[in-house]
Structure 1
Amino acid sequence: MTAIATTPAQTTGKVARSTNGAHGHKARPAAPSGAKAVKVTKTKVPKQAKAFATAVETTTRQVAEGRDLLVPLEQLVLSEANVRRVFHAEGIEELAALIDSQGLLQRLAVVAHAEGSYAVVAGGRRLRAMQRLVAQGRWEASRPVECKLYDNERAAEVSLAENSGREAMHPADEMEAFRKLVEDGLTVAQVAGRFGVTPITVERRLKLARLAPRFLALYRAEEIDPDQLQALALTEDHAAQEAVWDGLPTYDRDAYSIRRALTEESCRGDSRLARFVGIEAYEARGGTVRRDLFAEEGDGSGVFLDDAVMLQVLAMEKLRAAGEDVRAEGWGWVDCLLDGDDLALRSYGREAKGEREPTPEEAQSIAAMEAERDELDAAYERNEHADRDTEAYEAEEQRLMGLIDALDERIDAAHDALAQWTPAQMARSGALLRIDHGGQITVDRGLIRAEDRTAANEGQGGGDSGPGLVPSDAPKKRPAISEKLMRDLTAHRTGAIQAALVQNPHVALVTLVHRLAETVFSHYGCGNDVVKVHLTMTSDYALAQDATDYESSPAGALLDRATTEWGDRLPGNPEALFGWLLAQDRDTLLDLLAFCTARSFNAVAGRERGADQSDAITEALGVDMADWWVPTAASYLGAVSKAKALEAVKEATGVDDTAAVAGMKKDEAIQHCAAKLEGSRWLPAPLRRLPVSAPASEADES
């Protein structure tokens, strides 16, 4: 491209011209009195000079006001004078698609840069979008771009002017624009491609654009929010939309209430029956489905099955087919229930599962293991009477416990292999098939109907195990941690979780609602009943009975402070409490709810446990017991063997200190281990967080 030639006149914007008189004539001075008038001759200005002056003036004005020109894309760079400093990369792809399909609708504002290039002072996002098209191979780098050239002195002014005073398009206008394009013949895919968005985004815009005009008007007036619009879009029936909106009180027109009103006679796609039958199978039988385009994909929560009766019929057909396979096992009867509620089991008795007669080889193996178990028990008892302050005692204790545990597992496995129902038991009992909340079949075998219980009891021979049944005398496993220490540790854990709940009203609310739901909907099970909603107070005094030095612990101090603060805030007269609560704001009520729920929590246990609800609560709170408890001689080390204390040191530091404490008495060894564990954040097994699985969440695209 040819660069614009410049002259000093163009640069300064000044043109030599007459400044006296409207027509460019120099004024004549008055002649002195008595002087003779002199004739002045008029000089003509050449036409070439006039043309040059006009050209200079025009060029100067164009540079100041902007001059149109075409510049190859590869000769454009972003100017440092561009006032926009923040660019959102996610919008460039959409803008590139728009420019590719619609062309550059607004010129770039540029100033002269280095030789042969121009700097963009307004239109940086457009420049980046076009450069993206070049990088993708959709445009040539030499493609000419429409620009407007400005004087360098106006760069910042022009950039600020273009980026100021803008008003973004209202989403409702965009929705209706998308609808117009589709009505004019474009497909959803074509609209998505031209505007650089996904097809689902276009479908969502169209869904909202087809709402009753009344709601788009409310949206423009900011009297309804996007979530409410999305809920109304569950139906395309304008009358139904307006009926639901008008039928709900103004304070209850949230998205949840709208969605519930529109789908109250439908079944959600993530319900247990829908999961069991399958949406595809339901649709294949002619069932109608509504899909919420704004719901998360994959979990079925945005799918609504309109024919609940058909869904139940299909579920029962599938359940009965599975029941035939169970009947083939030899049961006297098989029942099928669509309800997965455990309450259904209360009307049944249960046949006790016995053991078949072992084969001679199995009997010999079990007898040998039980004889070995007796010998180990005797050895353990003998060791208990030895000097406990010696290393020999502790080493022998650990060795024997390891052998006993391993042997117990083998004995249990041998008896499990013998456990079964006899043919007579199966003939008089049956199986119940239910659908659980995950949409899976649950089979309860060995159930006895009420009318069959008498016969079953007679068949048991008044408590005799009956033919082929052998009672199991397998010894119980010795716990790795004593009951006293277990209660000590779990009391500290209870206090820490209480303290964390006090500080987290949201998780406290979830905990309380979960416990209430367990009670009302008993098919969820009762868990470990760690939250006593009725309300059983788990006081500091109760915890201090089990937890060593509880009063001085971080949890004890925090809970004592919170108890004092709430005691000062609440009215002293019980009759005034309800009125006081009515006068409080929601945040205050939630804080008090958190405190009360926390004080009902109780996970104190005397034996080892598996994962339970307390682990889910701990995970939600992010409780790390290392913040609330430390291993000391009083809290742990003095209550376990020297070997256990050394095991803790090895876990915490990676160093085996057995040799270091070889010549020490137990008290000295405990102090040595306590020093090694200081600051290590080591925790014994009962205080460690057990893994808890949680559902994944996917952000909704709108």
Structure 2
Amino acid sequence: MSNVTPFTRETRTIDTPAVESIPLADLYLSDMNPRQEADPEGIALLADSIAMIGLIQPIAGVRDEIGKIGIVAGGRRWRAIKLVFERDPALADIRPDLARVPVRLAPDEATARAWAAVENTAREDLHPADEIRAFDRMREGGADVPTIARTFGITEAHVYRRLALAALPAPVLDALKAGEITLGAAKAFTIADDEALALSVLDRIRGNEVSEHRLKQILQPEAINAGSDRRARFVGIDAYRAAGGRISADLFADATLLHDTDLLDRLFAEKLEAEADVKEAEWAWIVTLAESYVPYGTVEKMARLYRVEGDLTEEQAERYDELAELAEAEVLDEDGQAELEALQAILDGDFTDEQRRFGGWFMCVAQDGQIRMDGPYVRPEDRTAAIEAGVLTGHAAQPIESGKEDAPKSPYSGALVADLQAMRSAAVQGAMLDKPELALDLLAYTFAQAWGGPLAVRTDETPIKPATETGFAPDPRLLGGAHEGEGEDTASEADPFDAFRAKGKKHRNAVLALILARSLKYSDRDPIFARVEAETKAHVRQVWTPTAENFFSRVSAGYLDALHLDLTGCNPQGNGFKAFKSQKKREKAAGMERLFTDADYQAAWKIDAEKKARINAWVPDCF
């Protein structure tokens, strides 16, 4: 007998092992067999066939340490033979051919694993859960990915994708096999680093439709996607890791996840301050912002400075025109382009030393992780001196209108207000999904108010996407597509419209409710929004939880002090509040987030049931 296994790349011919007759009592189902379960009805039919005509095809197995035979291929036939004798034990004497089963024995475990894989794959596609377990058993037996791929006749990429799920807890794979979760949901579980949490979440979502994005948020609520988070992009993975930051991977999203939010915030603030220090050596002041933009109204009372334009000599002007013509004709080479840019820089000019002495910039980090500068500006307190120094002249030197100067400033930036209004819209949209009749009333009302036929109506089906999704948990139905499943069910129908109508009014109303709910947007001018909000009993806190990122870091430190006092009711002269007030704004924002989400932190501030109810219902006063 050849010692070469089917896994060997150089194999040309393999001796076929002989079939041996093995007592039924010495057979059992091997763990190598990917099909650990079988359909009872199918086994019963197979048993009828075997009882009449006998076993045509041998079973495949491998001998274990105590001489028993583990079945690696043919588990259904083995079950059927056992059922034959369970039905009629007397057959043991009448049908000795069934009492001893023909078994082809594998020469070694590696060959047995290959037989198990090939026989089951050739008969029927394995369920993903069975594939995951089968591939993992082959890997444990010493087979590499190329070998597994060749054995099953599939791509190596497919094997890698399945093996990436092999470390999932057994209950997750069991739920996948039972159809209680989707393959996409199983993939989401790979990011969980707490098995107890993963199993708890599994029990909560069995049989429910939960988006992969939402599931990942539940499994790792604090995880930060390094590819999309502006802080991570700005700091860099290497710097984060060098500082001791914990990292994991979302294998199926091809994403790196960061798990130390406080560390990332500190590194972000330190790097931003370091960049500001470099720039401040050239200018009077640099203000760094936690936001990814300069909030609306920040520069309202400031005067912008402009570069002092330069002049070209007559010779330079002629050369500039010549190069510009070549550039327009798209025939300018690299040296010519560099020369043109140098001449353009002279025309653009530069800021004078006097401008730098009074001017400054706002510095922030945009969503792409790059520094953005806005300025330069002269602050109100430097305005008089800048005018006297001739830095501000003409219109810029005119006094600011007193009405604007005395107007109270809102504690909320325009972008923050827009996000809060979006959260309010999401709350009402989600509530509308359970009131299709209300949605239809709104549709009819819309038709009644507009000229033209009803088919001219336009809807906005775009799900709400705030500047940051931290703390945002809209109704999962809002994240799906209004037409999901329609194409699959109706593509083969002669009349798709009839097929759609055949699904009934409940389905129709659900589709309409989703489309119309998404079309409803916040408005403080139209009373209908408030009417819908009241009728649906929607509340923004149903979908939005204030966090450091989405709210507290976007208001002033004084605002946070006042809010903390209001919600905790603590003594403003007490040591606790004095310690809170002395913190940096970033630390205050983190503390306020904990006040809303951390039971231990709430207990430390003696938050009773009444105060907790206030916290849970609190919304900014801009609503």
TM-score, reference length from structure 2: 0.40
If you compute each CA radius of gyration, which structure gives the higher value, 1 or 2?
1
TM-score, reference length from structure 1: 0.36
